[in-house]
Amino acid sequence: MRGKSEFTKLVIGQKRVRNIIKDQKKTGDVKSELLEKPAEKKLYQKGVAIAGELETMVKQKRFSEALKILLEMRADIDKFFDEVMVMTDDMVLRNNRLALVSYINDLFLKYADLSQIVIEGEKEK
């Protein structure tokens, strides 16, 4: 999968997720009633929809299938970051959006920390 553009985009998306929450304290659970924008609603719904199946596949060591499920989230992650201002001045919305980003990160961590993958041309940390 490493050489595929979809995988590279997923890794980049995961890096964006990790970067935005790296210096933030845990903000609690996502409150779905506070999700305003269609992109944040869709990302949350997608996360909830795949959570159980992802966990099952990882437990059963069906890693390629688990990765395919995560790849399905790539477009929703990109759209979220393109259309939603996470670090808004409204602290209630900000904390809920950070909780959403953290939730998505936790889903990925069930599989692996893809943010640690170095993409060609990217400087290693």
Average pLDDT, rounded, for the chain? 86
> 27-86, pLDDT tens digit by residue?
789 999 999 999 999 999 999 999 999 999 999 999 889 988 988 888 898 899 999 999
At residue 120, the pLDDT reads 62
Domain that holds residue 62: 5-22+37-112
At residue 97, the pLDDT reads 95
pLDDT greater than 80 at residue 2: no
Q: Is residue 104 part of a domain?
A: yes
Q: Is residue 29 part of a domain?
A: no
Cβ burial, residue 20 (10 Å; 0-12/13-18/19+): middle
Q: Is residue 41 part of a domain?
A: yes
Q: Is residue 32 part of a domain?
A: no
At residue 53, the pLDDT reads 95
CA–CA separation, 35 and 15 (whole Å): 23
Q: Is residue 97 part of a domain?
A: yes
Query: What is the rounded average pLDDT of the residues 99-119?
Result: 85
Q: Is residue 44 part of a domain?
A: yes
pLDDT greater than 60 at residue 125: no
Q: Is residue 11 part of a domain?
A: yes
Query: What is the rounded average pLDDT of the residues 13-21?
Result: 79
| DSSP H helices in the chain | 5-21, 38-59, 63-71, 74-83, 91-111
Of 53, 52, 32, nearest in space to 43 by CA: 32
Cβ burial, residue 15 (10 Å; 0-12/13-18/19+): middle
Q: Is residue 98 part of a domain?
A: yes
Q: What is the tally of structural domains in the chain?
A: 1
